[in-house]
Chain A
Amino acid sequence: MSKQEHKTDRKKESGKKEEETGTGSKSAEKGKKIKEDLDKLMDKIDDVLEENAEEFVKNYVQKGGE
Protein backbone atom coordinates (compact mmCIF):
# COMPACT_ATOMS: atom_id res chain seq x y z
CA MET A 1 0.00 0.00 0.00
CA SER A 2 2.77 2.43 0.92
CA LYS A 3 4.25 1.91 -2.52
CA GLN A 4 1.04 3.05 -4.18
CA GLU A 5 0.88 6.16 -2.02
CA HIS A 6 4.41 6.95 -2.95
CA LYS A 7 3.57 6.69 -6.64
CA THR A 8 0.61 9.02 -6.26
CA ASP A 9 2.75 11.61 -4.49
CA ARG A 10 5.35 11.50 -7.19
CA LYS A 11 2.71 11.98 -9.87
CA LYS A 12 1.35 15.00 -8.04
CA GLU A 13 4.79 16.57 -7.85
CA SER A 14 5.51 16.11 -11.52
CA GLY A 15 2.11 17.62 -12.33
CA LYS A 16 3.04 20.70 -10.32
CA LYS A 17 6.32 21.11 -12.14
CA GLU A 18 4.54 21.20 -15.50
CA GLU A 19 2.30 23.99 -14.32
CA GLU A 20 5.21 26.07 -13.07
CA THR A 21 7.13 25.85 -16.30
CA GLY A 22 4.07 26.52 -18.44
CA THR A 23 4.38 30.32 -18.35
CA GLY A 24 5.63 33.09 -20.66
CA SER A 25 8.09 32.30 -23.42
CA LYS A 26 8.42 28.82 -22.04
CA SER A 27 4.85 28.06 -23.05
CA ALA A 28 5.68 29.04 -26.64
CA GLU A 29 8.59 26.65 -26.47
CA LYS A 30 6.29 24.03 -25.09
CA GLY A 31 3.85 24.63 -27.95
CA LYS A 32 6.63 24.15 -30.46
CA LYS A 33 7.69 20.97 -28.72
CA ILE A 34 4.13 19.64 -28.84
CA LYS A 35 3.95 20.40 -32.57
CA GLU A 36 7.23 18.57 -33.17
CA ASP A 37 6.09 15.63 -31.08
CA LEU A 38 2.85 15.50 -33.03
CA ASP A 39 4.69 15.46 -36.36
CA LYS A 40 6.88 12.69 -35.05
CA LEU A 41 3.81 10.84 -33.86
CA MET A 42 2.10 11.06 -37.26
CA ASP A 43 5.22 9.71 -38.97
CA LYS A 44 5.33 6.89 -36.47
CA ILE A 45 1.69 6.03 -37.19
CA ASP A 46 2.47 5.79 -40.89
CA ASP A 47 5.30 3.42 -39.99
CA VAL A 48 3.12 1.00 -38.08
CA LEU A 49 -0.23 1.29 -39.86
CA GLU A 50 -1.06 -1.76 -41.94
CA GLU A 51 -0.61 -1.07 -45.63
CA ASN A 52 -3.82 -2.34 -47.06
CA ALA A 53 -6.17 -0.44 -44.78
CA GLU A 54 -9.40 -0.92 -46.68
CA GLU A 55 -8.91 -4.65 -47.18
CA PHE A 56 -7.82 -5.17 -43.59
CA VAL A 57 -10.80 -3.36 -42.09
CA LYS A 58 -13.23 -5.14 -44.39
CA ASN A 59 -11.87 -8.51 -43.39
CA TYR A 60 -11.87 -7.90 -39.69
CA VAL A 61 -14.90 -10.05 -38.96
CA GLN A 62 -15.35 -11.94 -35.72
CA LYS A 63 -17.95 -14.29 -34.44
CA GLY A 64 -20.13 -12.63 -31.84
CA GLY A 65 -18.91 -13.27 -28.32
CA GLU A 66 -20.44 -12.50 -24.97
Chain B
Amino acid sequence: MRQRIFGLENEYGLIFSPNGKVYLPVEKVLGYIFEGLIPNSWPSNAFLVNGARFYQDTGCHPEYSTPECDNIFDLVTHDKAGERLVEGCLPLAEERLKEEGLNGEIFIFKNNTDSMGNTYGCHENYLMRRDVDFWKVTEQLIPFFVTRQIYAGAGKLLKLSGKTHYFLSQRAQHIHEKTSSSTTSSRSIINTRDEPHADAEKYRRLHIIVGDSNMSEFTTLMKIGVTAVVLSMIEEGYTVPNIELEDPVKAIREISRDTTLKRRVKLEDGRELTGIEIQRIYLERAYDYLASTEVDSITEDIVQKWENTLNKLEEDPMQLSRQIDWVMKKELMVSYMEKKDCGWDDPRILLMDLQYHDVKRSRGLYYVLEKMDMVEKVVEEEDIQLAMNEPPQTTRAKIRGDFIRFAREKNRSYTVDWTYLKLNGYWEETILCMDPFSSSDRRVEELIAAASGHRFSR
Protein backbone atom coordinates (compact mmCIF):
# COMPACT_ATOMS: atom_id res chain seq x y z
CA MET B 1 0.00 0.00 0.00
CA ARG B 2 1.26 3.46 -0.91
CA GLN B 3 2.21 5.89 1.77
CA ARG B 4 -0.29 8.62 2.43
CA ILE B 5 -0.19 12.01 4.11
CA PHE B 6 -2.98 12.79 6.55
CA GLY B 7 -3.80 15.40 9.15
CA LEU B 8 -6.49 16.08 11.72
CA GLU B 9 -8.04 19.40 12.75
CA ASN B 10 -9.88 19.81 16.03
CA GLU B 11 -12.02 22.77 16.98
CA TYR B 12 -12.33 22.93 20.75
CA GLY B 13 -15.25 24.16 22.83
CA LEU B 14 -14.35 26.84 25.36
CA ILE B 15 -16.06 28.25 28.44
CA PHE B 16 -15.02 30.31 31.43
CA SER B 17 -16.82 29.65 34.65
CA PRO B 18 -16.27 32.26 37.37
CA ASN B 19 -17.65 30.57 40.44
CA GLY B 20 -20.36 28.76 38.58
CA LYS B 21 -21.47 31.80 36.62
CA VAL B 22 -20.43 31.97 33.05
CA TYR B 23 -20.48 35.17 31.20
CA LEU B 24 -17.19 36.34 29.97
CA PRO B 25 -16.88 36.88 26.25
CA VAL B 26 -15.08 33.87 24.93
CA GLU B 27 -12.97 36.13 22.66
CA LYS B 28 -11.12 37.42 25.67
CA VAL B 29 -10.46 33.99 27.13
CA LEU B 30 -9.26 32.79 23.76
CA GLY B 31 -6.84 35.71 23.59
CA TYR B 32 -5.22 34.60 26.83
CA ILE B 33 -5.07 30.99 25.65
CA PHE B 34 -3.22 32.17 22.54
CA GLU B 35 -0.73 34.08 24.66
CA GLY B 36 0.29 30.86 26.33
CA LEU B 37 0.89 29.00 23.09
CA ILE B 38 2.39 31.61 20.83
CA PRO B 39 4.37 34.10 22.93
CA ASN B 40 5.89 37.12 21.20
CA SER B 41 4.30 36.26 17.95
CA TRP B 42 1.76 37.61 15.57
CA PRO B 43 -1.75 36.26 15.78
CA SER B 44 -1.67 35.21 12.15
CA ASN B 45 1.58 33.34 12.50
CA ALA B 46 0.40 30.38 14.46
CA PHE B 47 2.60 27.56 13.27
CA LEU B 48 4.40 25.82 16.12
CA VAL B 49 7.80 24.17 16.50
CA ASN B 50 6.19 20.75 16.10
CA GLY B 51 4.97 21.78 12.65
CA ALA B 52 1.34 22.07 13.73
CA ARG B 53 -0.96 25.05 13.33
CA PHE B 54 -2.95 26.67 16.10
CA TYR B 55 -5.46 29.37 15.30
CA GLN B 56 -8.77 30.97 16.05
CA ASP B 57 -11.47 29.49 13.89
CA THR B 58 -15.00 30.50 12.91
CA GLY B 59 -17.14 31.03 16.00
CA CYS B 60 -14.20 31.78 18.28
CA HIS B 61 -13.03 28.22 18.70
CA PRO B 62 -9.40 27.46 19.32
CA GLU B 63 -8.40 25.06 16.57
CA TYR B 64 -5.40 22.78 16.45
CA SER B 65 -4.32 21.26 13.19
CA THR B 66 -1.79 18.46 13.44
CA PRO B 67 1.32 18.59 11.30
CA GLU B 68 1.20 16.37 8.22
CA CYS B 69 1.84 12.74 9.18
CA ASP B 70 2.57 9.66 7.06
CA ASN B 71 2.09 7.14 9.85
CA ILE B 72 -1.12 6.58 11.78
CA PHE B 73 0.64 6.31 15.15
CA ASP B 74 2.33 9.66 14.57
CA LEU B 75 -1.08 11.14 13.85
CA VAL B 76 -2.67 9.76 17.03
CA THR B 77 0.34 11.06 18.98
CA HIS B 78 0.15 14.52 17.44
CA ASP B 79 -3.59 14.78 17.91
CA LYS B 80 -3.04 14.11 21.62
CA ALA B 81 -0.10 16.55 21.67
CA GLY B 82 -2.57 19.21 20.52
CA GLU B 83 -4.75 18.43 23.53
CA ARG B 84 -1.78 18.71 25.87
CA LEU B 85 -0.75 22.04 24.36
CA VAL B 86 -4.17 23.63 24.90
CA GLU B 87 -4.35 22.07 28.36
CA GLY B 88 -0.97 23.63 29.09
CA CYS B 89 -2.37 27.11 28.37
CA LEU B 90 -4.98 26.91 31.11
CA PRO B 91 -2.94 27.99 34.18
CA LEU B 92 -1.51 31.13 32.57
CA ALA B 93 -4.84 32.14 31.04
CA GLU B 94 -6.60 31.65 34.37
CA GLU B 95 -3.86 33.67 36.05
CA ARG B 96 -4.36 36.54 33.58
CA LEU B 97 -8.12 36.53 34.23
CA LYS B 98 -7.45 36.55 37.95
CA GLU B 99 -5.33 39.68 37.54
CA GLU B 100 -8.46 41.28 36.16
CA GLY B 101 -10.43 40.21 39.19
CA LEU B 102 -12.04 37.21 37.53
CA ASN B 103 -11.57 34.11 39.61
CA GLY B 104 -12.69 30.95 37.94
CA GLU B 105 -11.85 28.04 35.75
CA ILE B 106 -11.58 27.72 32.00
CA PHE B 107 -12.95 24.55 30.44
CA ILE B 108 -11.81 23.28 27.07
CA PHE B 109 -13.82 20.44 25.57
CA LYS B 110 -12.70 18.25 22.72
CA ASN B 111 -16.23 17.60 21.50
CA ASN B 112 -18.47 18.89 18.73
CA THR B 113 -21.72 20.20 20.21
CA ASP B 114 -22.92 22.61 22.87
CA SER B 115 -26.18 22.62 24.85
CA MET B 116 -28.01 24.81 22.32
CA GLY B 117 -27.52 22.71 19.22
CA ASN B 118 -24.48 24.51 17.83
CA THR B 119 -21.72 22.42 16.37
CA TYR B 120 -18.01 22.75 15.64
CA GLY B 121 -15.92 20.25 13.82
CA CYS B 122 -13.19 17.70 13.68
CA HIS B 123 -11.91 17.65 10.12
CA GLU B 124 -9.88 14.90 8.54
CA ASN B 125 -7.58 15.51 5.62
CA TYR B 126 -6.24 12.82 3.33
CA LEU B 127 -3.93 13.53 0.44
CA MET B 128 -5.31 11.58 -2.50
CA ARG B 129 -4.51 10.94 -6.15
CA ARG B 130 -5.70 13.57 -8.60
CA ASP B 131 -6.02 11.09 -11.46
CA VAL B 132 -8.94 9.16 -10.02
CA ASP B 133 -12.49 10.38 -10.55
CA PHE B 134 -13.31 12.35 -7.40
CA TRP B 135 -17.08 11.96 -7.78
CA LYS B 136 -16.77 8.24 -8.11
CA VAL B 137 -14.61 8.16 -4.99
CA THR B 138 -17.11 10.21 -3.00
CA GLU B 139 -19.99 8.02 -4.16
CA GLN B 140 -18.04 4.99 -2.97
CA LEU B 141 -17.08 6.57 0.32
CA ILE B 142 -20.42 8.02 1.44
CA PRO B 143 -21.93 4.73 2.71
CA PHE B 144 -18.64 4.07 4.49
CA PHE B 145 -18.78 7.42 6.34
CA VAL B 146 -22.49 7.04 7.10
CA THR B 147 -21.75 3.78 8.94
CA ARG B 148 -18.26 4.48 10.34
CA GLN B 149 -19.83 6.12 13.40
CA ILE B 150 -20.57 2.66 14.85
CA TYR B 151 -16.92 2.57 15.95
CA ALA B 152 -15.79 6.19 15.44
CA GLY B 153 -18.65 8.02 17.18
CA ALA B 154 -18.01 9.90 20.40
CA GLY B 155 -21.57 9.54 21.77
CA LYS B 156 -24.04 12.31 22.53
CA LEU B 157 -27.11 12.88 24.69
CA LEU B 158 -29.92 14.62 22.85
CA LYS B 159 -33.48 15.44 23.76
CA LEU B 160 -36.09 14.23 21.29
CA SER B 161 -39.74 15.07 21.97
CA GLY B 162 -39.00 15.69 25.60
CA LYS B 163 -37.04 12.48 26.15
CA THR B 164 -33.27 12.17 26.41
CA HIS B 165 -31.62 9.66 24.08
CA TYR B 166 -28.06 8.50 23.69
CA PHE B 167 -26.80 8.83 20.11
CA LEU B 168 -23.67 7.26 18.63
CA SER B 169 -22.34 10.45 17.10
CA GLN B 170 -21.96 14.12 17.98
CA ARG B 171 -22.02 15.28 14.37
CA ALA B 172 -24.56 13.00 12.64
CA GLN B 173 -27.59 15.15 13.43
CA HIS B 174 -25.85 18.21 11.97
CA ILE B 175 -25.26 16.75 8.53
CA HIS B 176 -27.56 17.98 5.78
CA GLU B 177 -25.89 17.10 2.49
CA LYS B 178 -23.90 14.33 0.83
CA THR B 179 -21.28 16.69 -0.54
CA SER B 180 -20.91 20.45 -0.43
CA SER B 181 -18.30 23.16 -0.42
CA SER B 182 -19.60 24.77 2.77
CA THR B 183 -18.39 23.89 6.25
CA THR B 184 -20.57 26.26 8.28
CA SER B 185 -24.01 25.84 6.70
CA SER B 186 -25.54 22.74 5.14
CA ARG B 187 -22.67 20.65 6.45
CA SER B 188 -21.95 17.62 4.36
CA ILE B 189 -20.47 14.15 4.70
CA ILE B 190 -17.69 15.00 2.29
CA ASN B 191 -16.52 18.55 1.81
CA THR B 192 -15.24 19.46 -1.64
CA ARG B 193 -12.49 21.81 -0.47
CA ASP B 194 -9.53 21.04 -2.65
CA GLU B 195 -6.36 22.47 -1.18
CA PRO B 196 -3.81 19.69 -1.40
CA HIS B 197 -0.93 21.82 -0.05
CA ALA B 198 1.14 19.83 -2.53
CA ASP B 199 1.60 19.47 -6.29
CA ALA B 200 -1.98 19.97 -7.42
CA GLU B 201 -1.41 18.10 -10.67
CA LYS B 202 -0.64 14.93 -8.78
CA TYR B 203 -2.77 15.31 -5.68
CA ARG B 204 -6.00 16.66 -4.34
CA ARG B 205 -7.35 16.84 -0.83
CA LEU B 206 -10.10 14.69 0.62
CA HIS B 207 -11.68 16.83 3.33
CA ILE B 208 -13.99 14.94 5.68
CA ILE B 209 -16.13 16.94 8.09
CA VAL B 210 -18.61 14.29 9.21
CA GLY B 211 -16.48 12.77 11.97
CA ASP B 212 -16.53 13.35 15.73
CA SER B 213 -13.61 14.52 17.85
CA ASN B 214 -12.32 11.56 19.77
CA MET B 215 -10.83 11.20 23.23
CA SER B 216 -9.91 7.53 22.88
CA GLU B 217 -6.62 6.95 21.08
CA PHE B 218 -7.91 3.60 19.87
CA THR B 219 -10.97 5.27 18.31
CA THR B 220 -8.81 7.85 16.50
CA LEU B 221 -6.55 5.05 15.29
CA MET B 222 -9.56 3.20 13.84
CA LYS B 223 -11.24 6.30 12.44
CA ILE B 224 -8.23 7.45 10.42
CA GLY B 225 -6.51 4.09 9.91
CA VAL B 226 -9.51 2.29 8.44
CA THR B 227 -10.48 5.29 6.31
CA ALA B 228 -6.98 5.41 4.83
CA VAL B 229 -7.18 1.71 3.91
CA VAL B 230 -10.62 2.11 2.31
CA LEU B 231 -9.46 5.18 0.38
CA SER B 232 -6.41 3.32 -0.96
CA MET B 233 -8.49 0.38 -2.04
CA ILE B 234 -10.92 2.60 -3.97
CA GLU B 235 -8.07 4.60 -5.53
CA GLU B 236 -6.57 1.36 -6.75
CA GLY B 237 -9.81 0.32 -8.40
CA TYR B 238 -11.14 -2.10 -5.77
CA THR B 239 -14.56 -0.50 -5.73
CA VAL B 240 -17.65 -1.81 -3.98
CA PRO B 241 -20.53 -2.44 -6.37
CA ASN B 242 -24.09 -1.31 -5.60
CA ILE B 243 -23.35 0.16 -2.21
CA GLU B 244 -25.18 3.50 -2.74
CA LEU B 245 -27.69 4.38 -0.06
CA GLU B 246 -31.16 5.57 -0.94
CA ASP B 247 -30.92 8.55 1.42
CA PRO B 248 -27.49 8.90 3.09
CA VAL B 249 -28.45 11.92 5.21
CA LYS B 250 -31.49 10.13 6.62
CA ALA B 251 -29.42 6.97 7.10
CA ILE B 252 -26.66 8.68 9.08
CA ARG B 253 -29.23 10.04 11.52
CA GLU B 254 -31.05 6.74 11.85
CA ILE B 255 -27.88 4.79 12.51
CA SER B 256 -26.78 7.36 15.05
CA ARG B 257 -30.03 6.93 16.99
CA ASP B 258 -29.70 3.20 17.57
CA THR B 259 -27.11 2.03 20.09
CA THR B 260 -28.13 -1.61 19.55
CA LEU B 261 -26.75 -1.24 15.99
CA LYS B 262 -29.62 -3.33 14.60
CA ARG B 263 -31.20 -0.52 12.59
CA ARG B 264 -31.36 -1.27 8.86
CA VAL B 265 -31.00 1.43 6.23
CA LYS B 266 -32.16 1.29 2.63
CA LEU B 267 -29.79 0.93 -0.29
CA GLU B 268 -30.64 2.14 -3.78
CA ASP B 269 -30.93 -1.43 -5.01
CA GLY B 270 -33.64 -2.13 -2.44
CA ARG B 271 -31.55 -4.08 0.09
CA GLU B 272 -31.79 -3.11 3.75
CA LEU B 273 -28.57 -3.50 5.73
CA THR B 274 -27.27 -2.61 9.18
CA GLY B 275 -24.25 -0.37 9.71
CA ILE B 276 -22.20 -3.43 10.69
CA GLU B 277 -23.19 -5.28 7.51
CA ILE B 278 -22.23 -2.32 5.33
CA GLN B 279 -18.87 -2.03 7.10
CA ARG B 280 -18.30 -5.76 6.54
CA ILE B 281 -18.80 -5.30 2.79
CA TYR B 282 -15.98 -2.74 2.83
CA LEU B 283 -13.86 -5.02 5.01
CA GLU B 284 -14.23 -7.95 2.58
CA ARG B 285 -13.26 -5.72 -0.32
CA ALA B 286 -10.27 -4.45 1.64
CA TYR B 287 -9.09 -8.07 2.03
CA ASP B 288 -9.32 -8.50 -1.78
CA TYR B 289 -7.27 -5.37 -2.25
CA LEU B 290 -4.65 -6.19 0.38
CA ALA B 291 -4.14 -9.65 -1.14
CA SER B 292 -3.02 -7.88 -4.33
CA THR B 293 -0.49 -5.50 -2.82
CA GLU B 294 2.41 -5.39 -0.42
CA VAL B 295 1.06 -4.77 3.07
CA ASP B 296 2.99 -3.20 5.95
CA SER B 297 2.54 -4.45 9.50
CA ILE B 298 0.66 -1.35 10.66
CA THR B 299 -1.99 -1.75 7.94
CA GLU B 300 -2.28 -5.44 8.76
CA ASP B 301 -2.85 -4.58 12.41
CA ILE B 302 -5.47 -1.91 11.57
CA VAL B 303 -7.49 -4.27 9.40
CA GLN B 304 -7.33 -6.98 12.06
CA LYS B 305 -8.58 -4.49 14.65
CA TRP B 306 -11.33 -3.40 12.26
CA GLU B 307 -12.58 -6.97 11.92
CA ASN B 308 -12.34 -7.65 15.69
CA THR B 309 -14.20 -4.43 16.39
CA LEU B 310 -17.03 -5.29 14.00
CA ASN B 311 -17.29 -8.76 15.56
CA LYS B 312 -17.54 -7.31 19.03
CA LEU B 313 -20.03 -4.66 17.95
CA GLU B 314 -22.18 -7.45 16.57
CA GLU B 315 -21.96 -9.67 19.68
CA ASP B 316 -22.28 -6.93 22.26
CA PRO B 317 -20.94 -3.37 21.79
CA MET B 318 -20.38 -3.03 25.54
CA GLN B 319 -17.33 -5.31 25.12
CA LEU B 320 -15.59 -2.27 23.68
CA SER B 321 -15.76 -0.20 26.85
CA ARG B 322 -11.97 0.27 26.85
CA GLN B 323 -11.67 1.18 23.17
CA ILE B 324 -14.57 3.00 21.55
CA ASP B 325 -15.58 6.47 22.74
CA TRP B 326 -19.35 6.15 22.45
CA VAL B 327 -19.28 2.85 24.34
CA MET B 328 -16.86 4.13 27.00
CA LYS B 329 -18.95 7.19 27.75
CA LYS B 330 -22.23 5.28 27.71
CA GLU B 331 -20.88 2.61 30.07
CA LEU B 332 -19.68 5.33 32.43
CA MET B 333 -23.10 7.00 32.43
CA VAL B 334 -24.99 3.73 32.89
CA SER B 335 -22.78 2.71 35.84
CA TYR B 336 -23.28 6.12 37.40
CA MET B 337 -27.05 5.99 36.95
CA GLU B 338 -27.17 2.56 38.59
CA LYS B 339 -25.07 3.72 41.51
CA LYS B 340 -27.02 6.97 42.02
CA ASP B 341 -30.38 5.55 41.01
CA CYS B 342 -31.00 8.34 38.52
CA GLY B 343 -31.97 8.58 34.85
CA TRP B 344 -30.71 9.99 31.56
CA ASP B 345 -32.32 13.35 32.35
CA ASP B 346 -30.31 13.87 35.52
CA PRO B 347 -28.21 17.06 35.16
CA ARG B 348 -25.14 15.13 36.35
CA ILE B 349 -25.49 12.72 33.43
CA LEU B 350 -25.85 15.64 31.01
CA LEU B 351 -22.74 17.14 32.57
CA MET B 352 -20.86 13.85 32.14
CA ASP B 353 -21.66 14.11 28.42
CA LEU B 354 -19.55 17.29 28.39
CA GLN B 355 -16.95 16.51 30.98
CA TYR B 356 -15.92 13.24 29.33
CA HIS B 357 -14.33 15.53 26.73
CA ASP B 358 -12.54 17.89 29.14
CA VAL B 359 -8.88 18.13 28.09
CA LYS B 360 -7.74 18.97 31.63
CA ARG B 361 -6.49 15.60 32.77
CA SER B 362 -7.23 16.10 36.46
CA ARG B 363 -10.86 16.79 35.61
CA GLY B 364 -11.82 15.13 32.33
CA LEU B 365 -13.76 11.88 32.71
CA TYR B 366 -11.92 10.18 29.87
CA TYR B 367 -8.73 10.83 31.84
CA VAL B 368 -10.27 9.51 35.03
CA LEU B 369 -10.71 6.25 33.12
CA GLU B 370 -7.21 6.43 31.71
CA LYS B 371 -5.68 7.00 35.12
CA MET B 372 -7.45 3.92 36.43
CA ASP B 373 -6.08 1.89 33.55
CA MET B 374 -9.55 1.42 32.09
CA VAL B 375 -8.73 2.46 28.54
CA GLU B 376 -6.66 0.84 25.82
CA LYS B 377 -3.86 3.22 24.98
CA VAL B 378 -2.16 2.93 21.62
CA VAL B 379 0.63 5.50 22.02
CA GLU B 380 2.90 6.31 24.96
CA GLU B 381 2.45 9.46 27.02
CA GLU B 382 6.20 10.02 26.72
CA ASP B 383 5.85 10.25 22.91
CA ILE B 384 2.89 12.62 23.24
CA GLN B 385 4.98 14.92 25.44
CA LEU B 386 7.81 14.83 22.89
CA ALA B 387 5.41 15.61 20.04
CA MET B 388 4.42 18.88 21.73
CA ASN B 389 7.80 20.23 20.68
CA GLU B 390 8.98 17.92 17.94
CA PRO B 391 7.60 17.54 14.43
CA PRO B 392 7.05 14.13 12.81
CA GLN B 393 10.49 13.17 11.46
CA THR B 394 9.38 11.73 8.12
CA THR B 395 7.31 14.50 6.48
CA ARG B 396 7.59 18.14 5.44
CA ALA B 397 6.53 19.07 8.97
CA LYS B 398 10.12 18.42 10.03
CA ILE B 399 11.43 21.14 7.69
CA ARG B 400 8.82 23.59 8.97
CA GLY B 401 9.21 22.76 12.65
CA ASP B 402 13.02 22.85 12.59
CA PHE B 403 12.93 26.14 10.70
CA ILE B 404 10.57 27.75 13.22
CA ARG B 405 12.74 26.55 16.09
CA PHE B 406 15.82 28.01 14.41
CA ALA B 407 14.15 31.37 13.68
CA ARG B 408 12.87 31.64 17.24
CA GLU B 409 16.22 30.76 18.76
CA LYS B 410 17.88 33.42 16.61
CA ASN B 411 15.06 35.80 17.41
CA ARG B 412 14.40 36.34 13.72
CA SER B 413 11.07 37.26 12.25
CA TYR B 414 9.69 34.65 9.85
CA THR B 415 6.69 33.81 7.72
CA VAL B 416 5.49 30.24 7.44
CA ASP B 417 2.62 28.40 5.84
CA TRP B 418 1.95 24.75 4.93
CA THR B 419 3.84 25.02 1.64
CA TYR B 420 6.37 27.81 2.12
CA LEU B 421 8.65 29.52 4.56
CA LYS B 422 10.64 32.70 4.62
CA LEU B 423 13.07 34.44 6.92
CA ASN B 424 12.01 38.07 6.99
CA GLY B 425 14.65 40.76 6.72
CA TYR B 426 17.74 40.95 4.58
CA TRP B 427 17.31 37.63 2.81
CA GLU B 428 13.69 37.57 1.84
CA GLU B 429 13.60 34.65 -0.50
CA THR B 430 10.46 32.60 -0.12
CA ILE B 431 11.20 28.89 -0.23
CA LEU B 432 8.45 26.69 -1.58
CA CYS B 433 8.15 23.21 -0.10
CA MET B 434 5.55 21.47 -2.23
CA ASP B 435 6.39 17.86 -1.41
CA PRO B 436 4.76 16.80 1.89
CA PHE B 437 6.59 13.45 1.77
CA SER B 438 9.99 15.14 1.88
CA SER B 439 11.49 15.74 5.31
CA SER B 440 14.52 17.72 4.13
CA ASP B 441 15.14 20.60 1.79
CA ARG B 442 18.57 21.69 0.63
CA ARG B 443 17.54 25.35 0.20
CA VAL B 444 16.22 25.53 3.75
CA GLU B 445 19.41 23.93 5.07
CA GLU B 446 21.45 26.49 3.14
CA LEU B 447 19.30 29.31 4.45
CA ILE B 448 19.77 28.13 8.02
CA ALA B 449 23.52 27.67 7.52
CA ALA B 450 23.85 31.11 5.97
CA ALA B 451 21.76 32.78 8.65
CA SER B 452 23.80 31.04 11.37
CA GLY B 453 27.20 31.84 9.89
CA HIS B 454 26.74 35.33 8.63
CA ARG B 455 25.59 38.54 10.15
CA PHE B 456 22.61 40.11 8.55
CA SER B 457 21.69 43.74 8.79
CA ARG B 458 18.04 43.92 9.74
Binding site for B on A (CB under 8 A): 1, 4-5, 7-8, 37-42, 44-45, 48-66
Contact = CB atoms under 8 A, between A and B. Distances in A.
Interface string B60-73: 11010000000101
A61 B115 contact: yes
A59 B22 contact: yes
A8 B13 contact: no
Interface in B172-191: 183-184
B120 interface: yes
Contacts of B119: 64-65
Q: Is the interface of B mostly helix, strand, loop or mixed?
A: mixed
Interface string B84-125: 000000000000000000000000010000111011110100
Interface stretch (B35-43, B344-352, B438-446): B344-352
Question: Which of A8, A40, A45, A49: most chain B Cβ within 10 A?
Answer: A45
B211 to A, nearest CB: 12
Contact of B297 (A8, A38, A61, A66): A8
B184 A52 contact: no
Count class of interface residues, chain B: 35 or more
Nearest to B351: A53
B428 to A, nearest CB: 33
Contacts of B116: 61-62
Contact of B335 (A4, A42, A62, A63): A42
Contact of A62 (B14, B21, B347, B378): B14
A41 B350 contact: no
What are the 6 closest A-B residue pairs judged by CB atoms, nearest first? A65-B120, A63-B59, A53-B347, A54-B347, A65-B59, A66-B183
B355 A60 contact: no
